[in-house]
Structure 1
Amino acid sequence: MTGALTVSFTRRRGRADQVHVTRGDMTTTSWEFPSYGDALPHDLVHLVVEEGLDLTDGFWGLIDQGAYVVMVGDQAVLTRDGVPLAQRPDTDFTGLRRAEEAVAILGPQPHLEQSGKIILARVDPGSFATPDLPGTARRLGFQLPQSTTSDRVDTIHTRLRDLARRWRDVEDGTITLTWHRASTSGR
């Protein structure tokens, strides 16, 4: 890839939100997804985390390499040439799994509330603090990329908090981000 990946996330209150992508090779793709309301779209969190940790072979790396997103119900399915990547034996999902694990730990964190015998998990759209990253990763059975440093985590969380404020303030509008892929993956 020679150029940067540019992604526009469009909030459309009362209907599905949208992503439009211009890949490094200047090809484009777009998809709609069910609204997350005031919470940041999951794919936007992926972009910030993957860029912040130099994960070049995660979700956005696959998109930049020509994968497409097709929504099946409320589930995103990655495809290439009309075939789901999960059905292609040549697809390596190691980077995607690593990115999903990093997003699970560094993205919005749920707060558990007990109501009688029921425990509810509520997500504050602007809550990105993970006090014990290594402990959380261990409990979940995840391995954080080697590129995960406290400075990078602070930078990621600061950027996510800023974007969360911007997303909440958007009525019907767009946030555009550009990602210059690093040359190596943060493994």
Structure 2
Amino acid sequence: MEEEEAEVGKMNSDRCRFPYCVVWTPIPVLTWLFPIIGHMGICTSIGVIRDFAGPYYVSEDNMAFGKPVKYWKLDPSKVYTCGPNAWDTAVHDASEEYKHRMHNLCCDNCHSHVALALNLMRYDNSNSWNMVKLCFFSLLYGKYVSIGGFVKTWLPFILLLGVIIIVSLTLHLR
């Protein structure tokens, strides 16, 4: 029991605890074709993952496409909204809002859910977070949980690219 209490608020990839983080995992086929596109969630101050997993559904600690392979650690001191629980309140409020929304792959998706949470807390004194900005910031600042996470993200793309190159070279040599 004491060990569990000591773990609260600490990052632990084995237990999927990423406090104050944006987390990311690949989406089969879509990420194989476009490795920067994947599924995103946001974690509470104790590391509980919330993700917009489908129409009218925000999951808790059960990401739609598996455990996170990347995380982007954010700084809770950059939360502009006042209050001791401002981070958790924003994550909660964004999740409650998305429980009433239809999922749309291109326009209103998991990235939009995370953006709303960051906008509600005015993270980094900004209310202009959106899915494109999150995609690129996650790409730039995200860290892989393990080598396996890197492989899971990039190997299918590299294999697919290799097959395309071999086939095109074979056809070109004929």
Larger RCO (alpha carbons 8 Å, 6+ apart)? 1
Structure 1 length-normalised TM: 0.29
Structure 2 length-normalised TM: 0.31
Q: Report which of the two structures shows the higher radius of gyration computed on alpha carbons.
A: 2
More helix by share: 2
